[in-house]
Structure 1
Amino acid sequence: MKFPIHCPACDAEMSVVKLCCSSCETEVSGHFKFPTLMRLESEEQEFVIQFLMNSGSLKEMANKMGKSYPTVRNKLDELIAKMKTL
């Protein structure tokens, strides 16, 4: 299950406000932004994982996904552009 990163009421970006240690029960409070990768959609996260698992080979990804190299390249370019705005 993906963490909600946008408010269900107003769609504003949410933040983490408390972290807890399950071992010693230490708590840290504050306002922390979600890491960039967590702010991506599930399919975008999966694309990044596959990119890493294929050693950054878009050709290999295209073969495994059954898509053309330009299609996979365009997806990567879109993802790069999105990450620059997060």
Structure 2
Amino acid sequence: MKLPIYCPSCEEKLQVAKLTCSTCGTEVSGNYKLPVLMLLDLDDQEFMMEFLLSSGSIKEMAGKMGKSYPTVRNRLDDLILKIKELQNGK
């Protein structure tokens, strides 16, 4: 299940307000921004995870995905652009 990142009412970005320890019940409250990578959709998060587990090898990623090197390279370039836009608040 993906963590909701936008308000269902006004569609603004949500922020984390409380963290809870499932072992002892300790709660930490505040107003925290979500990390940029959590703002990506699930498909992009999974791509990033596979990319890291492939030690950043586009050739290995292409083999795992059954896609051509240029296709994976383009996907990575699109993802880099998306991350830069999220960092800049767009």
Q: Equivalent residue for 2:80?
A: 80
1:33, distance to aligned residue in structure 2 (A)? 1.0
Aligned length: 86
TM score, norm. by length of structure 1: 0.91
Query: What is the CA deviation profile of residues 33-72 of structure 1, one whole-angstrom value per residue up to 9, with x for unaligned ones?
Result: 1112211101000100110111111011111211111110
1:25, distance to aligned residue in structure 2 (A)? 2.4
In the TM superposition, 1:1-86 aligns within 5 A as 1-86=1-86
Structure 1: state its 5+ residue gaps. none
- The whole-number CA distance in structure 2 between the counterparts of 1:5 and 1:42 is 12
- What one-letter code is carried by the residue in structure 1 that aligns with 2:39? R
TM score, norm. by length of structure 2: 0.88
- What one-letter code is carried by the residue in structure 2 that aligns with 1:28? V
Structure 2: state its 5+ residue gaps. none
- What one-letter code is carried by the residue in structure 1 that aligns with 2:9? A
1:84, distance to aligned residue in structure 2 (A)? 1.1
- The whole-number CA distance in structure 1 between the counterparts of 2:43 and 2:22 is 30
Question: Once superposed, what is the RMSD of the aligned Cα atoms?
Answer: 1.1
- What one-letter code is carried by the residue in structure 2 that aligns with 1:30? G
Helix, strand or coil: the match of 1:5?
Answer: coil
- The whole-number CA distance in structure 2 between the counterparts of 1:54 and 1:17 is 34
Percent identical: 62
